[in-house]
Chain A
Amino acid sequence: MVNFTPISASVGGMLIGVAATLLMLFNGRVAGISGILAACLNVKGSDMGCSAAFIAGLILAPMTASFVGYLMPPPQMPGSWGIIVIAGALVGFGTRLGGGCTSGHAVCGIARLSVRSIVATAIFMATAIVVVALSRHVLGV
């Protein structure tokens, strides 16, 4: 557990909880990023503006953090381009089909003790653990 960072994880996690609470308090919306992105991409929908504003905030966050000296590390994504495309498509399709992702199900949904969210979170976590185990320890990618 050399990489375990409980303090930053607690502080960051609490901020995520604060953001989810505030979005519900002010706009009455669930902070599910996959749902927000889908609403942002849906030009016919009514939530496009607020969804785009939320995503803008998400993308601007590292910039504002850099003003106080907190620099975001460049993303490290090993794997071929093919894997990245397939993974992206699966995340997009799967989160819409399953009605949520890590934020909508694992944070907001479980906080409401939603059975759907608890089941979805258990399944996507277990699946991801199996995929990592297979790719790292069986196939050695």
Chain B
Amino acid sequence: MQLLAALVCGLIFGWGLLISHMVEPTKVIGFLDIFGAWDPSLAVIMAAALVVSSVGFRLVAARQRPVLTAQAHWPTRTDVDQPLVTGAILFGVGWGLVGLCPGPALENLVMLSPRVIVFVVAMACGMGLHRIWQEWRSEAKVHHAAESTVDG
């Protein structure tokens, strides 16, 4: 049942991206291009999505638990740290270069355009790289901690 719910939510999300034209990289670039022929549509998309989700989330949060599972996974972090800032900058550069963020990139796969496929593969590799880097860093930390106890 959770699989079906996820599939239907993905469909609705995809329809939203499609109808709003957010799947079109040129539409996104038109919004980001404030010094050119600026197209504010993306701000309207975000505002409309926010109106529904802020009311929706408030109603959902009032429930004891989700319909199909025991626990809701609300994000809990509130601190603004360096990785958040650096990550947002890197994402912003990539988004600005071609006008694709993860949702529209995945949805565009259906068109089998080689450029989109290459973008998605590169995006998956970027995510993989982040994972490897994180694992390597946490291992290095453990190693470092072990060394310092030996020294002490």
Say yes or no: A72 contacts B16, CB within 8 Å: no
CB distance from B23 to the nearest CB of A (A): 6
Q: Which of B43-63 contact A (CB under 8 A)?
A: 44-54, 56-57, 59-60, 63
CB distance from A114 to the nearest CB of B (A): 7
B136 lies within 8 A of chain A by Cβ: no
CB distance from A29 to the nearest CB of B (A): 6
Say yes or no: A23 contacts B5, CB within 8 Å: yes
Contacts of B123 in A (CB 8 A): 37, 88-89, 91-92
Contacts of B39 in A (CB 8 A): 1, 3-5
Given A16-B17, A58-B106, A72-B111, also A116-B5 (CB < 8 A) = no
Contacts of B60 in A (CB 8 A): 21, 24-25
Taking a contact as CB atoms closer than 8 A, the residue among A54, A94, A105 that contacts B6 in the complex is A54
Say yes or no: A57 contacts B6, CB within 8 Å: yes
CB distance from B31 to the nearest CB of A (A): 9
Please give me the residue from chain A that is nearest to B12 by CB atom: A19
Say yes or no: B90 contacts A76, CB within 8 Å: no
Contacts of A79 in B (CB 8 A): 97-98
Given A20-B56, A90-B97, A116-B79, also A51-B6 (CB < 8 A) = yes
Taking a contact as CB atoms closer than 8 A, the residue among B54, B80, B129 that contacts A111 in the complex is B54
Please give me the residue from chain A that is nearest to B14 by CB atom: A61
What is the number of residues of chain B that contact chain A, defined by CB distance less than 8 Å?
A: 114
CB distance from A138 to the nearest CB of B (A): 10
In the bound complex, how far is the Cα of B27 from the Cα of A1, in angstroms? 12
B138 lies within 8 A of chain A by Cβ: no
Q: Which of A69-100 contact B (CB under 8 A)?
A: 70, 72-77, 79, 81, 83-99
CB distance from B106 to the nearest CB of A (A): 5
In the bound complex, how far is the Cα of B130 from the Cα of A30, in angstroms? 21
Contacts of A60 in B (CB 8 A): 10-11, 14, 110
What are 12 A-B contacts defined by CB distance under 8 Å? A9-B41, A9-B44, A25-B56, A53-B10, A57-B8, A58-B11, A62-B14, A84-B122, A87-B95, A111-B56, A124-B89, A124-B91
Chain A interface (Cβ within 8 Å of chain B)?
A: 1-6, 8-31, 33-34, 37-38, 41-42, 49-51, 53-65, 70, 72-77, 79, 81, 83-99, 101-103, 105-116, 119-121, 123-133, 135-137
- What 3 A-B pairs come out closest when comparing CB atoms? A57-B10, A98-B87, A12-B20
